[in-house]
Amino acid sequence: MKRVTPLVAAPAAVLALAGAAMLGASPASAAPAAPAPAARAAHVCEAVAEGNEAKTADGWRALTEWNVSCTEGRTVRVEIEYGDGRTVTKEQAVAAGATWKDADVLPTARGVNSIVSFFENGEPLTHYSIVWD
């Protein structure tokens, strides 16, 4: 059994208020939040990752697979950081209206927890946490 969880970054202002509240400060006395980062270009790609199992010529193998669809042409990179210390990076030029489907096949049938990060033209797009039970 596996759990796939998209990770979402909290805005700096929310984190500042939460941190101040934990230290006993009221929102009115909390330090001002850091200025917002410069605006990024709007993303035109959507990415999904999941852990799965597949039968290969060598028997059953666990794998991390993903789909990335873009409405405009983009260079997409996926970085997978496995809990066992292994890191895999793949990059693909995805044409407008196309979908990039790929997978990283693990050396055994046992899944390894991982963080899967997607980047669109070098900018962070989304992240997934894959947890195997």
Coil/strand/helix, residue 104: strand
CA dihedral 48, 49, 50, 52 (to 10 degrees): 110
pLDDT score of 1:
46
Give yes or no for a contact between 79 and 116, defined as CB atoms under 8 angstroms apart.
yes
Q: Which tokens in the block code for residue 132? A: 């195997």
Tell whether the model's pLDDT for residue 36 goes beyond 90: no
Q: What is the pLDDT of residues 53-65, one digit of tens each?
A: 999 998 999 999 9
Q: What is the pLDDT of residues 87-124, one digit of tens each?
A: 999 999 999 999 999 999 998 888 999 999 999 999 99
Give yes or no for a contact between 33 and 16, defined as CB atoms under 8 angstroms apart.
yes
| DSSP state at residue 114 | E
The CA distance from 114 to 84, in Å, is 9
The CA distance from 130 to 82, in Å, is 9
What is the mean predicted confidence (pLDDT) over 8-36?
44
The CA distance from 129 to 47, in Å, is 13
Half-sphere exposure of 2 (CA within 13 A, CB side): 21
**Alpha-carbon distances of 51 from 35, 73, 80, rounded to whole Å:** 37, 27, 12
The closest alpha carbon to 66, from 133, 117, 123, belongs to: 117
